[in-house]
Amino acid sequence: MNTEILGIIVMFVITVLLAIPLGKYIAKVYGGEKTLLDPIFNPIERIFYKVSRINPQTEMNWKQQMVAMVSINMIWFLLGMLILMTQGSLPLNPDNNPSMSADLAFNTVISFVVNCNLQHYSGETGLSYLGQYWLMFLQFVSAGIGMAAAVLVFRAFRDRTASTLGNFYNYFVKSCTRILLPLSLVVAIILAFEGTPMTFEGKDTITTLQGDTVAVSRGPAAAFVAIKHIGTNGGGFYGANSVHPFENPSYLSNMVEMVAQMIIPIAMIFALGIFIKRRKLSWMIFGVMTIGFLLLVIPNIMMETKGNPALAAMGVDNSLGAMEGKEVRFGAPASGFWSIVTTVISTGSINSMHDSTMPLSGMNELLAMMINAFYGGCGVGILNFFIFIILAVFISGLMVGRTPEFLGKKVEAREMKIAMIIALLHPFLILVGTALAAALPQYTAATLNNPGFHGFSEMLYEYTSSAANNGSGFEGLGDNSIWWNVSTGFVLILSRFLPIIGPVAIAGLLAEKKFIPEGDGTLKTDTATFGLMVFAVIAIVAALSFFPALALGPIAEYFSLY
Amino acid sequence: MKKHILPAIKLTIIMILFFTVIYPLAVWGMAQFSSNAGKGKIIEHNGKKYYSNIGQAFTADKYFWSRPSAVNYNAAGSGASNKGPSNEEYLSQVQARIDTFLVHNPGIKKSEIPVDLITASGSGLDPNFSIQAAKVQVKRIATIRGIEEQKINQLIEDNAERPLLGIFGPQKINVLKLNIALDKLASR
């Protein structure tokens, strides 16, 4: 078999094989059971709680949990604005990079607080090492917030009837220390040995073999790049992200970064089944997500391998595939694979430039973010999927003429309203944002890097990436302008916190309800039939809301090219 | 909300200490054992040092040309063209690269030019090109340097990097290493 395809298959299989034991470990951590790492982290966490005077045993209901979450995020936002707008005169700035403007700092801080990592700056020139490390802090804690929110939903289905869902700080801190940190440490060390820099020295100047003088940006990147993937953040240390030969030096580092970004989202699915003692449910969710993922990723690998027909028509040897914006050490197939992994999961790091991928590859990248529930980001992926489950339960309930129930809890009008609002918020933000950008060419037309249909796709991609908290881009877009910084900034906030609060609220409401034991007439939610139902709901919601926009962008470009 | 603010501030401070000071120092400590102590892998040649992972611009006819770059191989930054596949301006740019290549490489057919030599990489710093990208330039270099083609082909053979463990990923060549080897061959 072709070595490039074999590399892809092995990457995926290794991820799933590692995710199953990791899922068990995660379930133990959140369940408060003994684990191997207790002797290290118990004392560390005790210091955390002593300093902050937080009692991690205090039970909280879902509203208290959400207030705690919003409060701490506000602090991170304010502190972040302060740091990024003054970094030019703070220490750890060997390259003398300037402080950020207010609108750019607004966009950047929000983007990292919400785990999106949309970057309207370039790391080499836009941040000091202090600024980079503040963002790295946010990469840890924003992933921890997502995972903690997911555990709140898990808790709602573990206990039969409960008014509280555990302690928010407990889940949040454990996510950061016991899950994100050890994994990041392993990945960072592998990357450092593969050639990713880990130095606090600034730019180096060299004379090339041919005699040109160039500068080479370095920096403490290995630690940063590790959590960027483990926490599904995706914000690069360098401008070119994981395309940069320092950020992703080899095929091995590429495999490691790929496994790193997929492993927690998949492990969370298995952790859910173990935590609530319904392992078959995990397999149903994993099955639906994997089918959706394969339907998007296989065409992309094929289209990128086949290459650009317009270049083939010029008569050159096109056998390497679509190499514009791609690196030779990864090749077209592995780049096509990454382009979907990073968009189904909300990582948004890239190992090739999405702006230069084939038209329908670009469409699949967009669809992956529009659906945003196949694996999904750290913790939040499973929350998005939970919304689709609730919708499918309700529709199935109507079809068989019974009160809809999920895991022994009645799903009623209030929960359905929340689920509908959250499901519709995503297309609303994307389509309204894009429509405004298209209707106001005085702010946006000059920022486009490509004419025609592809230019429209660039705008659509920017809002889709923001609303999915993804962070990748059709990077040709000149996005460091007040229009893009502010408009995507607001999309980012709304599309992060509402899709967390919504599912947690539903979970909190369901947890308070009486537990109804399963009977003959109960809708089984851990079967293939129900999986198909969820898949249909996802397909209909995504296809109906987004098809017209996709037809104007990538689909129209496809017909102009082929 | 008020009663969450103060604990949240204190928790943030202690976590900053842990995740942005202790964690990176641990990684930095380990990186001291990697090649060049975590400052990027280097190659030394004739008393000068180069970063082996950072591609360089090679435009002279006596060297193997590297891939086109949107940032002209200036590693103070990084970036790509970000041109869409159907962009007319982009397509005429590619056509111009093909024409230039044919002018500098007489006797080469268009169908022998691999696509990586006429497309810009994603980082603008791609250190590699394909085996075919090296082979298609042999005739030109042999003529200019007055070295037998067979020797240069052997050089390509020696510098070709196999897939990871022989089974994962593409084959490639590090352009800088190949050109250094070429200089060594010529000075011998």
What HEC string does A277-298 produce? CCHHHHHHHHHHHHHHHHHHHH
Kindly list the strands in the beta sheet with B128-129, ordered across the sheet, starting from the edge strand earlier in the chain: B128-129, B172-174, B160-161
Interface of B with A in 27-46 (CB under 8 A): 27-28, 30-31, 34-35, 37-41, 45
Q: What is the pLDDT of residues A138-188, one digit of tens each?
A: 999 999 999 999 999 999 989 888 889 999 999 999 999 999 999 999 999
Chain B contact set for A134 (CB, 8 A): 20
Chain B contact set for A322 (CB, 8 A): 85
Q: What is the pLDDT of residues A237-284, one digit of tens each?
A: 999 999 999 999 999 999 999 999 999 999 999 999 999 999 999 999
CB within 8 Å of B98: residues ≥ 6 apart: A314, A316, B110, B113, B118
Q: Which of A116, A119, A190 is nearest to A146 (CA)?
A: A116
Chain B contact set for A326 (CB, 8 A): 119, 121-122
Confidence of residue B62 (pLDDT cuts 50, 70, 90): very high
Chain A contact set for B167 (CB, 8 A): 3, 6-7
Q: What is the pLDDT of residues A368-386, one digit of tens each?
A: 999 999 999 898 999 999 9
pLDDT of residue A80: 95
Chain A contact present for B79, CB below 8 A: yes
Of B23, B57, B74, the CB nearest to A215: B74
Q: Do A310 and B7 touch (CB under 8 A)?
A: no
Confidence of residue A494 (pLDDT cuts 50, 70, 90): very high
Residue range A290-314: average pLDDT?
A: 95
In this model, does residue B173 exceed pLDDT 90? yes
Tell me which amino acid residue A165 is.
L
Q: How far is A477 from chain B (nearest CA, A)?
A: 9
- At A198 the three-state DSSP class reads strand
Of A197, A226, A320, the CB nearest to B130: A320
Q: Which of A69, A76, A65, A71 is nearest to A113 (CA)?
A: A76
| Beta carbon pairs, A and B, within 8 Å | 367
- Tally Cβ neighbours within 10 Å of residue A42: 11
Of A555 and B163, the one with more pLDDT? A555
Distance CA A254, CA A247 (A): 9
Residue range A19-25: average pLDDT?
A: 97
Question: What sign has the CA pseudo-torsion B42, B46, B48, B51?
Answer: negative
State chain B's mean pLDDT as an integer: 93
Query: Which residues, listed in sequence order, are joined to residue B164 by a DSSP beta bridge?
Result: B168
Q: How far is A338 from chain B (nearest CA, A)?
A: 13
pLDDT of residue B28: 96
Q: How far is B148 from chain A (nearest CA, A)?
A: 22
**In this structure, what DSSP letter does residue A351 have?**
S
Q: Do A214 and B49 touch (CB under 8 A)?
A: no
In this model, does residue A351 exceed pLDDT 70? yes
Quick one: what percent of chain B has pLDDT higher than 90?
A: 85
Phi, psi of B172 (to 5 degrees): -160, 175
pLDDT of residue B1: 67
User: Can you read off the two tokens belonging to residue B188?
Assistant: 């011998």
Q: How far is B186 from chain A (nearest CA, A)?
A: 14
**In this structure, what DSSP letter does residue A33 have?**
-
Residue range A109-134: average pLDDT?
A: 93
Q: Which of A354, A373, A377 is nearest to A476 (CA)?
A: A354
Interface of B with A in 58-77 (CB under 8 A): 58-60, 63, 67, 73-77
CB within 8 Å of A128: residues ≥ 6 apart: A87, A88, A90, A92, A93, A95, A97
Interface of B with A in 116-145 (CB under 8 A): 116, 118-130, 132
Provide the whole-model pTM: 0.94
Q: What is the pLDDT of residues A425-478, one digit of tens each?
A: 999 999 999 999 999 999 988 899 999 999 999 999 999 999 999 999 999 898
Please say whether the beta carbons of A351 and A471 come within 8 A.
no
pLDDT of residue B166: 83
**Nearest residue in chain B measured CA to CA from A312:** B115
Tokens 């007439």 correspond to: A521
Q: How far is A510 from chain B (nearest CA, A)?
A: 24
pLDDT of residue A1: 56
Please say whether the beta carbons of A46 and A372 come within 8 A.
no
Q: What is the ipTM of this complex?
A: 0.94
Chain A contact set for B95 (CB, 8 A): 314
Quick one: what percent of chain A has pLDDT higher than 70?
A: 100
User: Can you read off the two tokens belonging to residue A63?
Assistant: 């509203």
Q: Do B122 and A251 touch (CB under 8 A)?
A: no
Q: Do B27 and A356 touch (CB under 8 A)?
A: no
State chain A's mean pLDDT as an integer: 93
